[in-house]
Structure 1
Amino acid sequence: MIKYTLVCEAAHSFEGWFRNSGDFEAQVERKLVVCPMCGATDVKKGLMAPAVSTSRKREALSPIAKAEAESPVVDTPETKSEAPVPVSATPMQPSALLPENLRQKEIVEALRLVRARIVENSENVGSNFASEARKIHYGDAEERSIYGETTLQDAEELLEEGISVLPLPELPEDKN
């Protein structure tokens, strides 16, 4: 994965993760990369510094972040849950990782905007998400952005098949 610093036409800066530069270009061309602050789709790469890991940076990490950075992801019974998880096959990345200096309220509002854009510009296929995503990927159904629910295991299998899926942003009201 490649992390790009992105800038929209209104000069908002944010980050996005992409499989490769071609994936970034294709998504920008299709207007799928959206500024989380203003919703603009005219997005360009900004100036970026290479991500170099130094011992000083590792020492500055919190103990939790340090452990996450140094250890691989381990599947636990909790991560293998069969409960449905909302996901989206919109090629939009959690691109839209936000600048660290935004306050929590602004972050939640930006997540609401991202989620609203996905829902507004995608078809809800409900619990048929995994099968519909496969049909689209293999050319058996019309190409379009979809969202719905699937199990974590099915989402992992889709990713292994090369089918891009992302969890929809979880909002505080989703937990109430």
Structure 2
Amino acid sequence: MIVFDLRCGQDHVFEIWFGSSGDYADQKARGLVACPYCGDTDVDKAVMAPRVSAKGNRAAPDMRPVASQNPEAMKDMMAAMAALQKRMLAQSTYVGGRFADEARAIHHGEKDARPIHGKATAAETRSLIEEGVPVAPLPFPVLDPRDEN
């Protein structure tokens, strides 16, 4: 794998991984490389710092988690996020693995419009996006309501 920093015509800089530099050239030539911020396909390699590996005889930096400097604020933030999650899930219907079919039916007016959430494979999600069906991942894990305690 190889990583490049790319810059679009709107001056957005983003990182992207390819199997090889040839893969990058091929995908760019076919118009498959686009800015994730604005969708611009006019992208070029940006100047980037070289990735230099540390010497083998050096100890790895200490990467242990550090305790929060403000545990009360962290507790309040986690409680607020849990409340938001609960409210979002209460206002939508869980459709499980039927998510792609349900979302498509709602989009095409075959079923009444309502907020739904469920599970979809990457291929199903890609297909929904290509069809113009509005979908977005939830920022938290969702259990089947039948599996909750």
Name the TM-score, length of structure 2 as normaliser. 0.44
Q: Greater relative contact order (Cα 8 A, min sep 6): structure 1 or 2?
A: 1
Name the TM-score, length of structure 1 as normaliser. 0.38
Structure exhibiting the larger radius of gyration computed from Cα positions: 2
